[in-house]
Structure formats: structure tokens, C-alpha cells
Chains A and B, each alone.
Chain A
Amino acid sequence: MLKPRPHHPASHWHSTRRLTLGLLLVWFVLTFGVIFFARELSGIRWFGWPLSFYMAAQGLALAYLLIVAVYTWQMRKIDRRQQESEHNRGHNREQKREQQ
């Protein structure tokens, strides 16, 4: 007997939305935090750069690439989970038909 997987029609969209919201929050806090406090951060040295200059010139851009990478990778996982659960549902239905 197959293990019954809990399935909610909204779960895929639900996890997508949560992931999107979380990453947007990171994006927002990072961007506007760094710019807003740039004057305060410029006293800190970072491998020879003033931290605020480095973040604005290169650090933020690299962080954005990371955000997009995490999103792509996580969404693939979410998509795959959805496909599996759909596949299983199809499998369950077939089994039921055979039993009848």
C-alpha cells in the first residue's frame, strides 16, 4: 500500500509565495539598509575598501545573483515536489480502479 501523501491544491502556490516574499524581504532590507546607512558603514574597512563603497559597487550585485540563484534552485525543488505528488495521485487512482 502506498503512503498517502497529504495534498492541498494550493500548496505549490503557497510555497512559491512564501519563498518569493522571503527573498524579496532580503532584497529590500539589504538594498535599502546599505544605502540608508552608507555614511555610517564607510568607516568600516573591508579588504582595503570602505565597506559601503564595496557593497554599493560590487557586494550588493553579488548578493542579487545569490538571491536569484536560491530562487531558481528552490523553485525547482518546489516544482518537483508538485510533480511527484501529482504522479502519485495518478498512481493511486489507477490502483483503486484495479481493485474495483
Chain B
Amino acid sequence: MKDGSFFWRLVRYYAWYTGGFILLLVVLAILEKEGLPRTWIGYLFMFATIVLYAGIGIMSRTSDVSEYYVAGRRVPGLFNGMATAADWISAATFISLAGGLYLQGFDGLAYIIGWTGGYCLVALLIAPYLRKFGQYTIPDFLAARYRGRTSSNPVRVLAVAATVVISFIYVVAQIYGVGLITSRFTGVDFSVGIFLGLASILVCSFLGGMRAITWTQVAQYVIILFAYLIPVIWLSMEHTHSPVAQVSYGSVLAQITNIEKKLDVDPKEIDVRAIFKANADDYDARLRDLPKSWEQGRIEAQQHLELLKRNNSSLIEIRAANRALNSYPKTPEEAERKWQQDKASNLARAEPPVPQATPFPGATREASDIKRNNFLALVFCLMMGTASLPHILMRYYTTPSVQESRKSVFWTLFFILLIYLTVPALAVLVKYYIYTSLVGSDYAHLPEWVSYWANIDKSNPLVSITDFNHDGLVQLSEITLDGDMIMLATPEIAGLPYFVSGLVAAGGLAAALSTADGLLLTISNALSHDVYYKMIDPHASTAKRVTVSKLLLLVVALLAAYTASLKPGDILSMVGAAFSLASSTLFPVLALGVFWKRGNQQGAIAAIVVGFGTCIYYMLHTYPALGGSASGQWFHIAPMAAGIFGVPAGLLALIVVSLLTPPPDPRAVALVHHVRTP
């Protein structure tokens, strides 16, 4: 009865909140009509939403241990599902996923399958058992399950290390996303944007821990949902005359396939592709001539600059030549690396467009098979990773009962699907828009958004359209779009009013902030609860534990923001690495911990070390940016899917080492029996 009234009170609060948010949208739409400048609309969205999150954080401030760590274990399944969905939908999903589907076609769907199918594993193998165990963190569970005769600390230390490393990589990617959005929509510098976002993350999680984060995340989910669905519904109404894009975009897909077939044989497109092919051949010739070609190229660039200066050419030309000389490779080695990249990108652009709906397109059956295997490997890693990400699993501690935690996984997947079923529709609709209204249009009259997005980052433009064959028309092969801008720019591409752009930015910010919040709390809880309370000072008072947790949160957050400000890599690859690492390190111990009684401490240590080691080794060995090379790949599997080797290695290590060593402690076996009973 009490639980029931609590549930309905929550429903009432969030209904009012949603109503208020719709009102804000309407007011801003009217203000825009009345002539409010665009920048103000951007500011208002950012400001209003951040104040809102901070407000919820302040209202839910707490110093009670159970409230701080697990929100008092009374979050109803439906609301925990919403909060977990917000926790789950990260900057990678919101900003990059639609772009990934746009650029990669069918291959991008691996993310959709992996990130939803993983919840089957969460529901069936992990969440209910963790809730039955009923402590505070993931290392807690592993330490109790794999306790030794004398101490449970070795497994705990390893689990904490894994949790911290995985969550840290992931949180850096989120804060990077926060920086991107705030800097683009408010015009502040990237690093200032990062720290602005950080401030709002901290107000929320710092004061109220899990309790504040849960109620903020529910609020953030509502914003994410509106921000994703409104532009898609709008586009869908225009192109298919039906608001339900998820159902109606099939007809658009068929049209896209037809256009692609025409573009494949269009003489002008073939022209442009031939230009790229020639460029690639040029780079190839230069690469073969190294180091002589490098020397020659430098001299030519210098001569070109001097010639321009002598002829009193325009300042713009001289500047361009100067820039070219400055960015010319400093050594033959650098030249080789750079030209290899340029050759590859030119070769890629010399190919006909990636067909949106064809699975694993490849020139030969073998190339196509490699794509299929990579698709399978990526799906595997993303699924196993989903089932072992600590910040997601931790959320299932907050429900009132085991049954409620099962229901909660269902609601999580339900709320995730509301967004995920829309993502492919968005990618297809935007692609249709580009194919029909940009391709073939007049080069001299490009739409406004092109120059706007091209100017945000001049050295590495997010959009570039260059008239390579000088025919005055835009060809598809002349357009390059960055995957990270497609969702954020959708409202502008489709010519929607600016308040929709502001809404999308607010949604992206909510997605990045909610995930960053959950991750930071996971890191600080693992450190304060598992390291400080369980290992350093078991007699610490509850107030002291929460204070330590808050302090650690601050330190970790600053460290993560600093790392993100160094721009370590793009969002999707950082997130992919985190998934592979999580799956290799934690999945074997978590799943077999419940389903295999014989697993013992030595086995768990071996599993974590071997899984982590295999995954890291493969990434270092095959990822060019980390000093590896693609020639070291096993079965042509990309480094991002390293978990496909890590997970089996970890499982095998757990089984073999456990069987070679004495059976587990009776208390561990009793724990297994305990979590298995309802």
C-alpha cells in the first residue's frame, strides 16, 4: 500500500514536470517567432535544463549511506528502468549512433543489436542475483562470492581496478561529448565547455549520490526522449506523411536504394571518383619514392610560396601556401604515415556510395565474409559488455525486491527501444534528404548549415563540400559528413525552426550528463566503499564514508575532465574499447559466479587477469594509434572487438584454474545458494 502511493506520487510529479517541459518548448517556439535571437534560445535551453538538474540534486541531498549508495532501495521498477535508460543512452548513442548508421549503412546496425541484446543477458544472468545479494557495489559481490579462506581482498582489489579503469575510459568519452555540445551551442571554448558541464554533473551527484542521480536521470530521460523523437516525427511527416517514423521509413529506404543504384552509374559521380583514384595513385607514387619525394615536396612547397610572394598574389593565397608549408610532414617517417592515411581516405572516396540496406557489401565473397565476422564479433563484445558494465548493473541494487529488479530490466529495455527503434529511421530520413535536396544542387548556393558546421572546427571540418570536378553542381562523392554532427545538425538540415536545434542540444547534453553522473558515482563508490571502508578503515562512521565518497568523486571528476580536455580520441572508439574491456574482465566472473558453484578465488583472479590481459594485448597489438599494426590481426578482427578473444580466455582461465585448486570456501557456496533462492 505504502509502495503503491509512493509510485503514484512519483507518477504525478513527473507528469507535472513533463507538462512544464512542454510548456517551455511552446514558449520558446513562440519567442522564436517573435524574433528572439538564436543564441538566446541556445542559452535558455542549456541554462534551464542545468538549473533543473541542479535543483533536483539539491532537493535530494543526503548523507545517509543506503540513500547515498542505493537510493534507499525503494525505486519502483518502472522508474528505475527510466533512470537506467538515461544512464545507458550516452553521448555515443545520442550523438554518434545515427551518424554511424548513416555512414556505415547495414554495418552500423551492429550497435543496435549489441546494445539491446545485451539486456537479455543482464536480465537472465545477472541483475536479479545481484539484487538478491543486496550490497552496494559490483566488487562487493565478487569479493563475497570469491572469498578465500583467509581474505576476500585480492578479488576485491582486482574488481575495483577493473571497475575504475572501464568506467574512467567511458566517462572521459562522455565528458568529451559534453564539451562538444556546450562549445557548439553556446560558443564557449571546448575546455571551458567541459568544465561548465562538469559543474552541473557535480552539483547533482556530489550532494545526493544515487538518490539524486536516480531522480535526475528520470527527468533527463524525458528530455532525451523529446529531443530525439520530435525532429524524427517532423521529418517523417514531411517525407512519408505519417508521424510514426519507426513504421513508415521502409518506403523511404526503398527509394534510397533506387537512388543509390542510379548514383553508382552516374557519369559525373564516376568523374569525381576518378579524381580521387588519381589522387590516391599520386600518393602511392610518392610513397614508393620516399625519402626523395619528401625532400622534393618540401622544396616545391617553399618555391610555390616564394613565387606567390614575388608575384604579389592575394593575401588569402599566400596564407594558404604558408599553412600548407607549415603542415608539411617534418620527417620522411611522418610523411609516410600521413600519406598512407591520405591515400587510404582518397581510395575510400573513390568507391561508390555504401549501400544503406545491403548486408556486408564487399568486392569478393571473402571480403564480405570478413565484414560479417567483424559484425558478429562486435555484436558479441557489445552484448557481453552491456552485461558487465558496473554503472548499469549497480542500478539494479536500487529496486525494492528481486522481482522488481526483473521488471526493471524489462522497463529499461522498453525505454531504450523507444529511442533505438527510431535511430535507423532518423539515419534513413536524413540520408534521403541529402540525396534528394543536396546532391545535384547548385554549388554556389549551398544551404546555410553547411557553412555553419564547416566553420566550427576549421582544421578538421565536420562538413566539407568541394567542387572537385568544377561543374558547379554538388555530387554525392564531393560531400563529406562527420558522423558526430548528423544528429545534432538534423533540425538544420531539414530546415526546422531553431528551437528544435536547441532541444536536440539539450537532449544530447542530458544523455552525456546522465551517463557521466552514473559513471562517476560508480568509480567513487568503488573507491570509497570497497577500498576505504572494506579494506582501509572498517570502523569508519557512516558520515565519514559518505564524506570520503564525495571527496573522491570530486577528484575523479576533475581528473576525467582534464583527460577529456586533451581530446584523446573519438567518442565511438573510446566507448567501444570500454565495452571490450568490461566484457573480457568482468563477464566471466559475474556470470559463472552465479551459475557455477565450483568457481573459487584463484580461478576468479586468473579470469580477471587473463581476460584483461588478452583484451589489452590484442588492442595494443592491432590498433595503429597505440603502436600496433593491422597485420597482427587474428582472423581479421578489428581491435575494437578484442573482447571476442578476451571473454573466452577469461572463462577458460576461471574453469581451468578453479578445477586445479581446492574447492571454494563453504561461505561462498552458501552465498551462491542464497542468491539462487527467491
B357 and chain A: residue at smallest CB distance: A53
- Number of residues on chain B facing chain A (CB within 8 A): 44
Instruction: Scan B116-151; emit 1 where CB is below 8 A from any A CB, else 0.
Output: 110111011100100000000000000000000000
Smallest distance from the beta carbon of A63 to chain B beta carbons, Å? 9
Q: Indicate if the CB atoms of B359 and A58 lie closer than 8 Å.
A: no
Q: Indicate if the CB atoms of A53 and B375 lie closer than 8 Å.
A: no
Residue picked from A27, A35, A50, A69, most chain B C-beta under 10 Å: A35
Smallest distance from the beta carbon of A89 to chain B beta carbons, Å? 14
Smallest distance from the beta carbon of B242 to chain A beta carbons, Å? 12
Give the residues in chain B near A42, CB-CB below 8 Å.
357-359
Q: Indicate if the CB atoms of A58 and B409 lie closer than 8 Å.
A: no
**B397-412, CB < 8 A from A:** 402-403, 406-407, 409-410
Given contacts A32-B376, A76-B403, whether A58 and B250 have CB atoms under 8 Å apart is: no
- Number of residues on chain A facing chain B (CB within 8 A): 41
Residue picked from B116, B359, B379, B424, most chain A C-beta under 10 Å: B359
Q: Indicate if the CB atoms of A47 and B250 lie closer than 8 Å.
A: yes
Majority-rule SS of A interface residues: helix
Does B676 interact with chain A (Cβ within 8 Å)?
yes
Does B79 interact with chain A (Cβ within 8 Å)?
no
B677 and chain A: residue at smallest CB distance: A12
Smallest distance from the beta carbon of A54 to chain B beta carbons, Å? 8
Give Cα A57 to B358, complex, Å: 12
Give the residues in chain A near B420, CB-CB below 8 Å.
61
Q: Indicate if the CB atoms of A79 and B678 lie closer than 8 Å.
A: yes
Binds A, one of B105-113, B503-511, B607-615: B105-113
Smallest distance from the beta carbon of A57 to chain B beta carbons, Å? 4
Give Cα A79 to B128, complex, Å: 12
Give the residues in chain B near A60, CB-CB below 8 Å.
112-113, 116-117
Q: Indicate if the CB atoms of A65 and B413 lie closer than 8 Å.
A: yes
Give Cα A52 to B402, complex, Å: 36
Q: Indicate if the CB atoms of A36 and B119 lie closer than 8 Å.
A: no
Smallest distance from the beta carbon of A52 to chain B beta carbons, Å? 5
Q: Indicate if the CB atoms of A50 and B357 lie closer than 8 Å.
A: yes
Does A2 interact with chain B (Cβ within 8 Å)?
no
Instruction: Scan B237-265; emit 1 where CB is below 8 A from any A CB, else 0.
Output: 00000000010001101100000000000
Does B368 interact with chain A (Cβ within 8 Å)?
yes
Give the residues in chain A near B121, CB-CB below 8 Å.
27
Q: Indicate if the CB atoms of A58 and B117 lie closer than 8 Å.
A: no
B107 and chain A: residue at smallest CB distance: A56
Does B421 interact with chain A (Cβ within 8 Å)?
yes
Given contacts A60-B117, A68-B410, A79-B678, whether A48 and B250 have CB atoms under 8 Å apart is: yes
Instruction: Scan B383-427; emit 1 where CB is below 8 A from any A CB, else 0.
Output: 100000000000000000011001101100110010011001000
- State which of A71, A76, A82 has its C-beta within 8 Å of the C-beta of B124: A71
Give the residues in chain B near A83, CB-CB below 8 Å.
678
**A6-49, CB < 8 A from B:** 12-13, 16-17, 20, 23-24, 27, 31-32, 35-36, 38-39, 42, 47-49
Q: Indicate if the CB atoms of B421 and A68 lie closer than 8 Å.
A: no
Q: Indicate if the CB atoms of A75 and B406 lie closer than 8 Å.
A: yes
Q: Indicate if the CB atoms of B124 and A12 lie closer than 8 Å.
A: no
Q: Indicate if the CB atoms of A49 and B250 lie closer than 8 Å.
A: yes
7 additional contacts (CB under 8 A) given A48-B251, A64-B119: A38-B106, A38-B372, A39-B359, A53-B109, A65-B116, A72-B410, A75-B406
A–B complex contacts, Cβ < 8 Å, 30 sampled: A12-B677, A13-B676, A17-B595, A23-B120, A24-B124, A31-B117, A31-B383, A32-B376, A35-B113, A35-B372, A36-B376, A38-B360, A38-B372, A42-B357, A48-B253, A53-B357, A56-B106, A56-B359, A57-B421, A57-B424, A58-B424, A60-B112, A61-B417, A61-B421, A62-B421, A64-B120, A65-B417, A67-B123, A69-B410, A82-B678
Q: Which residues of B contact A (CB under 8 A)?
A: 106, 109, 112-113, 116-117, 119-121, 123-125, 128, 246, 250-251, 253-254, 357-360, 368, 372, 375-376, 379, 383, 402-403, 406-407, 409-410, 413-414, 417, 420-421, 424, 595, 676-678
**Nearest 8 A/B pairs, CB to CB:** A48-B250, A38-B359, A57-B424, A56-B109, A61-B116, A79-B678, A72-B406, A53-B357
